[in-house]
Amino acid sequence: MSEKQYVTYGQSCGCGGTDEAKKITGCRFSLSVMSDRYADIILGALAKVDTGKVWKMTDKLSTVYRGRQLHVEDAVMACFVHAFRPDVHMTLEATFSKGCPGDVDADRFMAEDDVPLNAAGMADIHFPVACKIALYPMGVPDYMRHIAAVVNHAIDLGLYERSSHYCTILSGDIHALFGYFHYVNTYCGENLSHYVFEVTLSVNSPTV
Amino acid sequence: MSEKQYVTYGQSCGCGGTDEAKKITGCRFSLSVMSDRYADIILGALAKVDTGKVWKMTDKLSTVYRGRQLHVEDAVMACFVHAFRPDVHMTLEATFSKGCPGDVDADRFMAEDDVPLNAAGMADIHFPVACKIALYPMGVPDYMRHIAAVVNHAIDLGLYERSSHYCTILSGDIHALFGYFHYVNTYCGENLSHYVFEVTLSVNSPTV
């Protein structure tokens, strides 16, 4: 009789992952292209992204980049920008995260410098984006205070549209939104030991 | 000079929403249909769902159902099942949640009975689904223990494929997966004051 292999999260020391693992920023994301040409558009975009400074993996459900925060953000933005078509409805679901106690110091590029590989190629590409965000600060009782801090920064930046059930609605230019995501990931890296930041981007939706 | 209207989460009593608000299960979800016919497929599916026992709202980014747990689950599953086409790649991103301290006792149907409106019409429809899940128990230090509990139940049910970065990968028939989601929502409702349960479903992906 074979024995089931159960997971054991939460049964170890409770001190979380290693110090090195806690420095890894990751993003698991999926592009959804509402077109018969979705495969060509996604593969074409991925081919244009320079992923030289992030560890990457693609499975049936999504792609994961892991490494230093700025390079992960740079590569995810590049995927979306290069998949953008003025006439095609497309969404991006992205989960940024750092500090999971179950994480391991593997599957990451951490020794890279501070020069983003994709920023120059995107600098002149602008388009408006509808966005929703949800932040989950893990393991702390005062998590609502941190959520309020990042939402209020979106208000300061003029990106905030409204609060809605289970998320906050934003809108703005693609560069302004990714600039804000950089702020959120930085804030969370400095103030939380483990967080999950969910982002949805949508372009060219026919829904008014 | 106009004053900015900031949000104030986390600054009140800290006791969370009202008792009534804490009973509301909600799901915010988006269907992504990778086809030129996406609008027709989604609108056709929505027209087949009986939403008589859930409060509903659709905006540019997603649809929200709120009410009693079983009716919310029943209606979300019906959307996906009725949008399914054997030859079309489609995904569903769904956020189930209950107990947010910022929630209010509004926008919900709670006085309904225990009879699901859509189950009979879906009973004979079966298809295999690739799935990823992520559970976020909020405000508690031992959250990894709860995550392990629900992942291990997926192992018991034979739905577990593997753990991956930032999620757990499952696969199974659509009914088995929604049966499992019902277990997770019930477990969380009984063991946590606030949780967020993220689910992604994918059918007919060309990626092996």
Segment B69-115, tens digit of pLDDT: 999 999 999 999 999 999 999 999 999 999 999 888 888 888 889 99
How confident is the model over A193-201, as a mean pLDDT?
A: 98
What Rg value do the Cα atoms of chain A yield, rounded?
18
Residue A39 falls inside a structural domain: yes
| Residue A102, pLDDT score | 85
Contact between B189 and B68 under an 8 Å Cβ cutoff? The reply is no
**Do the domain assignments include residue A5?**
no
- Which residues numbered 81-110 in A keep a CB inside 8 Å of some CB on B? 89, 91, 93, 95, 97, 100-103, 107
On whether any CB of chain A is under 8 Å from the CB of B46, the answer is no
What are the CA-CA distances from residue A10 to residues A21, B10, B167, B188 (Å)?
17, 27, 16, 16
Considering only residues A8 and B145, tell me which one the structure prediction assigns the higher pLDDT.
B145
**CATH number of A75's domain:** 3.30.70.930
* Mean of pLDDT values over B37-53: 94
Statement: residue B64 has pLDDT above 80:
yes
Domain assignment present for residue A9? The answer is no
Q: Is the pLDDT of residue B8 over 90?
A: no
In a domain, B6, yes or no: no
In this structure, are residues B74 and B185 in contact, taking their beta carbons and an 8 Å threshold? Answer: no
Amino acid A12: pLDDT: 57
The number of domains in chain B is 1
Q: The tokens 């006085």 sit on which residue?
A: B111
User: Could you tell me the CA-to-CA distances from A55 to A30, A32, B1, B144 in Å, in that order?
Assistant: 16, 22, 48, 25
Looking at residues A157-166, what average pLDDT do you find?
96
- B chain contacts of residue A151, beta-carbon cutoff 8 Å: 7, 9
Report if residue A113 sits inside a domain.
no
Domain span at residue B182 reads 21-100+125-203
pLDDT of residue A13: 46
Higher per-residue pLDDT: B157 or B207? B157
Q: What is the mean pLDDT of chain B?
A: 93
pLDDT of residue B135: 98
Distance from CA of A24 to the nearest CA of B (A): 11
Q: How many CB atoms lie within 10 A of CB A131?
A: 24
Contact B168, B158 (CB under 8 A): no
User: Using 50, 70 and 90 to split pLDDT, how confident is the model at B2?
Assistant: low
User: Residue A8 gets which letter from DSSP?
Assistant: -
Cβ within 8 Å, pair B145-A9: yes
* Mean pLDDT computed over every residue of chain A: 93
Least confident range from A8-12, A46-50, A96-100: namely A8-12
Please determine, for residue B116, whether its predicted confidence score (pLDDT) is greater than 60: yes
Q: Show Cβ contacts of residue B176 under 8 Å, excluding neighbours closer than 6 positions.
A: B157, B159
Q: What is the mean pLDDT of residues B46-50?
A: 93
Q: How far apart are CA A161 and CA A168, in angstroms?
A: 8
> How does pLDDT run across A168-178, given as a tens digit for each residue?
999 999 999 99
Examine the pLDDT at A75 and tell me if it is beyond 70: yes
Residue A165 lies in a domain: yes
Give the whole-angstrom CA distance, residue A96 versus residue A181: 9
CA A84/CA A171 separation, integer angstroms: 16
Chain B contact set for A32 (CB, 8 A): 32, 34, 91
Residue B188 lies in a domain: yes
Describe chain A by its helix, strand, coil percentages, rounded to 5: 30, 30, 40
Q: What are the tens digits of pLDDT across the range A41-50? A: 999 998 899 9
Interface touch B9/A148, C-beta < 8 Å: yes
- Quote the pTM value: 0.95
Interface of B with A in 138-177 (CB under 8 A): 138-148, 151-152, 155-156, 163-167, 169
- How many Cβ pairs within 8 Å bridge chains A and B? 182
ipTM of this complex prediction, to 2 decimal places: 0.94
∠ CA(A94), CA(A97), CA(A100), 5° rounding?
A: 145
A125-141 average pLDDT score: 98
CB B194 within 8 A of CB B76: no
- Report the pLDDT averaged over residues B145-162: 97
With 80 as the cut, is the pLDDT of residue A90 above it? Answer: yes
Q: Residue B24: is its pLDDT beyond 90?
A: yes
**Residue A16 domain flag:** no
Nearest to A33 by CA among A82, A95, A97: A82
Mean pLDDT, residues B121-146: 97
